[in-house]
Amino acid sequence: ESSGAPDWHVVSVGSLLPSSICAAATAASNSSALSVVHRHGPCSPLLARVGGAPSHAEILDRDQDRVDSIHHRHRGSGAAPAINPARASKGVSLPAHRGLSLGTGNYIVSVGLGTPRKDFSVVFDTGSDLSWVQCKPCKDCYEQQDPLFDPAQSSTYAAVPCGDPHCRGLDSSTCASGNRCRYEVVYGDQSQTDGNLVRDTLVLGPSDALQGFVFGCGDDDSGLFGKADGLVGLGRAKVSLTSQAAAKYGAGFSYCLPSSSSSAGYLSLGGAAPSNAQFTAMVARSDTPSFYYLDLVAIKVAGRTVSIPAAVLKAPGTVIDSGTVITRLPDTAYRALRSSFAGFMRRYKRAPALSLLDTCYDFTGHRTVQIPSVALVFSGGVTVSLDFSGVLYVSKVSQACLAFASNGDDTS
């Protein structure tokens, strides 16, 4: 193949499951790089909730909420979604905006805020724009990992006034007493954050500071945030971290998500691309300006192109998202991929489906397994041969599933 990638992955069954011990090394290769870890793995700074991390089935079920909210935003439905009355009453003065569901497969980074710096563990999300943390004084905050951010203790804190372009540019904002800009984000799973839009110094890595970073100071927050201290938005809008950091670091960012929840990756603003990176066109759509789109044009299994009509992939487009766990394909494309993959896997015993994953295998009794490679081909001929960790979702040795799912049909 043009990528030079092997057509098969040969993997020891003993290495399929992540370690329960964090094996993360120091991640930062430059001063603005942040270490990225899985929210529910042993490297996460967030304490496990009561009863431990969610099950794989729970993670995948919640993933569908995230996908549903992406589709909802893409369709641009004019009708306001139904809001839980209990939640709606909290943000009565603000127009509720339905955002993305958070999902539970999110990754965590640590950032510093204020002067002197205080550290916070926040979800990172390429599908939304506004960054926020919970702040003092708090009317109604959920329990989080670290002490709340206290603006009174920071010498560089300032409120953002109502006339500020960042305030006027928000999807949902109002002007409160004292010329304070109030924001609200209602996520697709009904999680919600309300608070003041503020500015303070953001510290990335050991010491690299971004002065005057605009973010939300949440004081009325609830939902499925776990113990995260907040969220950092990496979407395309002007208020996102990546947009605000562009003047200092350049208009771009990169990240690497680790192969296992027991190891670490990185998030880096600016900086040079790795020399082996292959580039495809980024596509923008005015109806969903926060999302990053690209053009997926073909799929290969074991080096052979799967038979999928070009229009099936090309017409709807593809969003790349850090917060969705499992790649979704148009139904025709998924069925073709599944058929091809299963054809190469006939030597293995089938296992029951796992939530939305319907092509699963039982590797019990095998020392090694041989899995066909899966490659995604993007416009321009860029062929990305997935790592083994991107082909199978392994809940246990007796249930390893093709890590793709259908959107249900080709048009929804």
Q: What is the DSSP string of 316-354?
A: T-EEE-SS--SEEE-HHHHHHHHHHHHHHTTTSEEE--B
The reply on whether position 59 binds another protein by CB under 8 A is: no
The reply on whether position 259 binds another protein by CB under 8 A is: yes
Q: How far is the CB of 232 from another protein (least distance, A)?
A: 14
Structural element, H or E, at residue 62:
helix 56-75
Dist. CA 39–CA 173, nearest whole Å: 29
Retrieve residue 220's tokens. Answer: 């009325």
Sign of CA dihedral 126, 127, 130, 132: negative
| C-beta neighbour count of 270 within 10 angstroms | 17
Q: Indicate which residue of 146, 194, 200, 321 is catalytic.
A: 321
Contacts of 206 (CB under 8 A, 6+ apart): 28, 31
The reply on whether position 55 binds another protein by CB under 8 A is: no
**Residue of the chain from 94, 320, 358, 366 that contacts another protein (CB under 8 A):** 320
The reply on whether position 250 binds another protein by CB under 8 A is: yes
Q: Which residues pair with 63 in a beta bridge?
A: none
Active site residue 125: yes
**Residue of the chain from 257, 304, 344, 358 that contacts another protein (CB under 8 A):** 257
Amino acid at 117: R
The reply on whether position 353 binds another protein by CB under 8 A is: no
Dist. CA 410–CA 312, nearest whole Å: 7
The reply on whether position 144 binds another protein by CB under 8 A is: no
Q: How far is the CB of 189 from another protein (least distance, A)?
A: 16
Reference 375, options 118, 22, 3, 103; nearest CA is 3
Active site residue 321: yes
**195 versus 258: smaller Cβ distance to another protein:** 258
The reply on whether position 54 binds another protein by CB under 8 A is: no
The reply on whether position 329 binds another protein by CB under 8 A is: yes
Retrieve residue 78's tokens. Answer: 């004019």
Q: How far is the CB of 235 from another protein (least distance, A)?
A: 10
**70 versus 203: smaller Cβ distance to another protein:** 70
Amino acid at 249: Y
Dist. CA 392–CA 379, nearest whole Å: 25
Retrieve residue 236's tokens. Answer: 């395309």
The pattern of x and - marking residues 93 through 112 that bind another protein according to CB under 8 A reads: ------------x-x-----
Count of residues engaged in binding another protein, rule: CB under 8 A: 69
**193 versus 327: smaller Cβ distance to another protein:** 327
For the chain, the first-to-last Cα distance in angstroms comes to 33
**Residue of the chain from 215, 225, 266, 341 that contacts another protein (CB under 8 A):** 266
Segment interacting with another protein, rule: CB under 8 A, options 83-91, 129-137, 174-182, 247-255: 247-255
Dist. CA 74–CA 372, nearest whole Å: 33
**136 versus 314: smaller Cβ distance to another protein:** 314
Contact yes or no for 294/377 (Cβ under 8 A): no
Give the footprint of another protein on this chain (CB under 8 A). 63, 67, 70-71, 74, 105, 107, 126, 236, 242, 246, 250-259, 263-266, 273-282, 284, 292-294, 296, 313, 316-330, 333, 376, 382, 384-387, 389-390, 393, 403-404, 407
- Which residues are part of the catalytic machinery? 125, 321
